[in-house]
């Protein structure tokens, strides 16, 4: 789960709680053909931080290349990360994720102070800003309020294809994911 949760945070900007509570039914192909996460609160299954958190987030092509769809399709109906166990006084699924991330980053020699799992979400927002994406568009994609004017006079979100264009602007030029590519794995198996 840690591998996917790190990549998902980097390439979607989603909160760790949103990612940890994803259901297999939340990963779907939109009517436009784009694979998306549906971040929504349903019955008591999911708890979202804000009203703006309920949104559609397209899957970045790098996540698809790395095999995330194949991973989800192999799962039985239920949670995308069934191995995550509730913890802490509030029983949240992300309780142990922060600890696992800290242990992992230290084990690979990343010891910069104030670096936490939430830093991955900040990286996604910064990558969007670096690509010239507007503050309102970044807010819509990562689940923040977009401000009075937009919420009042243009309350409907961007179409999925426009969101897909935005998410594809998340780029990390020094991050090489070729070793995770499903195509590479399929070629080596042949």
Q: What is the pTM assigned to this prediction?
A: 0.81
The band of 190, judged by pLDDT with boundaries at 50, 70 and 90, is: very low
SS3 sequence, the chain?
Answer: CHHHHHHHHHHHCCCHHHHHCCEHHHEEECCCCCEEEEECCCCCCCCCCCHHHCEEEECCHHHHHCCHHHHHHCCCCCECCCCCCCECCCCECCHHHHHHHHHHHHHCCCCCCCCCCHHHHHHHHHHHHHCCCCHHHHHHHHCCCCCHHHHHHCCCCCCHHHHHHHHCCCCCCCCCCHHHCHHHHHHHHC
- Inter-residue contact 85 to 21 (CB < 8 Å): no
pLDDT digits (tens, 9 = 90+) for 25-36: 999 999 999 999
Give the distance from CA 134 to its chain's centroid. 19
Residue 43's pLDDT band (boundaries 50, 70, 90)? Answer: very low
Specify whether the CB–CB gap between 70 and 182 falls below 8 A: yes
The tens digit of pLDDT for each residue in 118-176 reads 888 899 999 999 999 998 889 888 886 655 555 544 445 788 999 999 999 999 988 88
**Stronger pLDDT, 97 or 24, i.e. the higher one:** 24
The upper half-sphere exposure of residue 183, i.e. CA atoms within 13 Å in the direction of its Cβ, equals 7
Residues 38-43: contacts with CB under 8 Å, at least 24 apart: 39/14, 39/143
Span 70-104, pLDDT tens digits: 999 999 999 999 999 888 888 888 888 888 888 88
Query: How far is 37 from 53, CA to CA, in rounded Å?
Result: 12
Q: How many residues does this entry show for the chain?
A: 190
Query: Is the distance from CB of 138 to CB of 147 less than 8 angstroms?
Result: no
Nearest to 10 by CA among 112, 101, 136: 101
Beta-bridge mates of residue 36: 28, 58
List pLDDT tens digits, range 50-77.
454 578 899 999 999 999 999 999 999 9
């Amino acid at each position: 789960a840690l591998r996917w949760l790190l990549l998902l945070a980097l390439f979607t900007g989603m909160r760790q709680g949103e990612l940890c509570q994803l259901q297999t039914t939340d990963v779907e192909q939109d009517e436009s053909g784009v694979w998306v996460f549906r971040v929504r609160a349903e019955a008591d299954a999911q708890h979202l931080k804000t009203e703006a958190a309920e949104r559609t987030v397209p899957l970045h092509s790098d996540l698809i290349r790395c095999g995330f769809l194949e991973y989800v399709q192999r799962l039985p109906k239920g949670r995308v990360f069934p191995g995550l166990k509730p913890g802490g006084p509030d029983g949240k699924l992300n309780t142990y994720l922060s600890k696992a991330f800290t242990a992992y980053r230290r084990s690979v020699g990343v010891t910069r102070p104030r670096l936490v799992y939430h830093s991955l979400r900040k990286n996604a927002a910064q990558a969007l800003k670096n690509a010239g994406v507007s503050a309102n568009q970044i807010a819509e994609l990562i689940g923040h309020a977009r401000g009075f004017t937009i919420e009042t006079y243009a309350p409907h979100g961007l179409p999925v294809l426009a969101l897909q264009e935005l998410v594809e602007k998340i780029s990390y030029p020094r991050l090489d994911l070729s070793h995770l590519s499903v195509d590479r794995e399929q070629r080596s198996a042949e």
